[in-house]
Amino acid sequence: MRILAIESSCDETAAAVVEDGKKVISSVVSTQIEEHRLYGGVVPEIASRRHCENICAVVEQTLEQADMTIHQVDGIAVTYAPGLIGALLVGVNYAKGLALAANKPLIPTHHLRSHIAANYLAHPDLKPPFLCLVVSGGHTHLIEVKDYTDFHIIGRTRDDAAGEAYDKAARSLGFPYPGGVFMDKAAQQGNPSTYHLPKPKVEGSPYDFSFSGLKTAVINTIHNANQKGETIQKNDMAAAFQQTVCDILAGKTMKAAKEFGYTDIVIAGGVSANSGIRARFEQECRQRGYRLFIPPLSLCGDNAAMVGAQAYHEYQAGHLAGMDLNAIASLAIDISYGEMKSSR
């Protein structure tokens, strides 16, 4: 089964053709990062406009690269939740138009489920059940993936997502948006022991995360240094931040693996590109004899290949949408399209 998948939940307009949820036939990602960088973050209105301008060309290029016409695809998948509502609407309406015109099944796909599914493309031997840490710009979740479309959330962030904390700490250190990757590079040159940062805990919820206190500690340290006329060692601060984030993420994931009995550990989402997190998880999993699965860097950030991978399993589970499909800004990963519809 060949699925044409469309992604427009944030600042990447993307399309891909994926076969049987495993093989990427073609994939095109058009990013708007340079433009949003001017404003220090994603401007939703600009994102929606750029998606409108780009989506036809991105889909056409994807089909061209696959050497296919729309009539040769077996289904059309689209990210319908969660994300920026105006941005999601562009992809959803475009996909609805295509599905109607070409008479194809329409497969609504959840963005975080897709991030997890990026791993099925990279690792053909990976099958649920497994424990997954999803770390992106908008979400931080520790999830039991019981089956391809069956999820149980063990823990989540109570405030900032890991990527958001990275981007805000980076901004306070003067790095461009999105700062995660700049922090990562700086951290590799720094000494993590120069600064001491707190590891915020959520009382009574051992698997929930809290990153806003960590971000604030970075901002306060910079502020105090500025007031005293001292210079902040940017690389050292980035290294301290990265080490603290790694301690928190790896600590909770390894604890959950032991308690819930998982030996297959998966990481997904934009922040899974982080070199410190990848190295720490490799080390922790090796020590325990666990198998670790991480997407290649090309599949960590937003793309449509991962949407095509998850959509295959949604289709198998009968999760299809009609022309009443709408975009949803916020939707938990453990709620299927059918459950969402019947509850509204």
Which residues are near ligand KG4 by CB under 6 A? 10, 115, 136-138, 163, 166-167, 178-181, 184, 269-271, 273-274, 301-302
Residue 184 annotated in ligand binding:
yes
242: enclosing H helix or E strand: helix 234-260
User: Which does residue 181 touch among Zn ion, ligand KG4, none (CB within 5 to 8 A, set by kind)?
Assistant: ligand KG4
Q: Which is nearer to ligand KG4, 36 or 104 (CB)?
A: 36
d(CA 336, CA 109): 9
User: Which does residue 274 touch among ligand KG4, Zn ion, none (CB within 5 to 8 A, set by kind)?
Assistant: ligand KG4
- What contacts 265, CB < 8 A, 6 or more positions away? 130, 131, 132, 133, 253, 257, 281, 285, 290, 291, 292, 293
User: Which does residue 166 touch among ligand KG4, Zn ion, none (CB within 5 to 8 A, set by kind)?
Assistant: ligand KG4
Residue 135 annotated in ligand binding:
yes
Which residues inside 110-149 make contact with Zn ion, applying CB under 5 A? 136
Contact pattern from residue 291 through residue 330 relative to Zn ion, giving x for each residue in contact according to CB under 5 A and a dash for the rest? -----------x----------------------------
Phi, psi at 323, each rounded to 5°: -75, -5
Q: What angle do CA 178, 183, 187 make, to 5 degrees?
A: 165
Q: Which is nearer to Zn ion, 4 or 87 (CB)?
A: 87
Four-point Cα dihedral 20, 22, 24, 27, nearest 10: 90
Residue 205 annotated in ligand binding:
no
Q: Which is nearer to ligand KG4, 66 or 277 (CB)?
A: 277
- What contacts 308, CB < 8 A, 6 or more positions away? 3, 4, 5, 16, 17, 18, 21, 24, 77
Residue 134 annotated in ligand binding:
yes
d(CA 237, CA 230): 14
- The least distance separating ligand KG4 from the CB of residue 118, rounded to whole angstroms, comes to 10
Contact pattern from residue 241 through residue 280 relative to Zn ion, giving x for each residue in contact according to CB under 5 A and a dash for the rest? ----------------------------------------
Q: Which is nearer to ligand KG4, 21 or 179 (CB)?
A: 179
d(CA 3, CA 75): 5
User: What amino acid occupies position 115?
Assistant: H
Question: SS3 of 155, please?
Answer: strand
User: What amino acid occupies position 20?
Assistant: D
Residue 313 annotated in ligand binding:
no
User: Which does residue 210 touch among Zn ion, ligand KG4, none (CB within 5 to 8 A, set by kind)?
Assistant: none
User: Which does residue 138 touch among ligand KG4, Zn ion, none (CB within 5 to 8 A, set by kind)?
Assistant: ligand KG4
Provide the token pair at 184.
Answer: 């990562």
- CB-CB contact of 161 with 139 (8 Å): yes
Phi, psi at 78, each rounded to 5°: -150, 145
Provide the token pair at 254.
Answer: 């390894």
Q: Which is nearer to ligand KG4, 33 or 100 (CB)?
A: 33
Q: Which is nearer to Zn ion, 113 or 280 (CB)?
A: 113
Q: Which is nearer to ligand KG4, 111 or 252 (CB)?
A: 111
Residue 137 annotated in ligand binding:
yes
- The least distance separating Zn ion from the CB of residue 329, rounded to whole angstroms, comes to 14
Residue 274 annotated in ligand binding:
yes
- The least distance separating ligand KG4 from the CB of residue 69, rounded to whole angstroms, comes to 30
- What contacts 8, CB < 8 A, 6 or more positions away? 14, 51, 55, 79, 83, 87, 88, 90, 91, 94
Residue 266 annotated in ligand binding:
no
Q: Binding site, residues?
A: 111, 115, 134-138, 167, 180, 184, 274, 302
Q: Catalog residues that contact Zn ion under the rule CB under 5 A.
A: 136, 302
Q: Binding site for substrate, residues?
A: 134-138, 167, 180, 184, 274
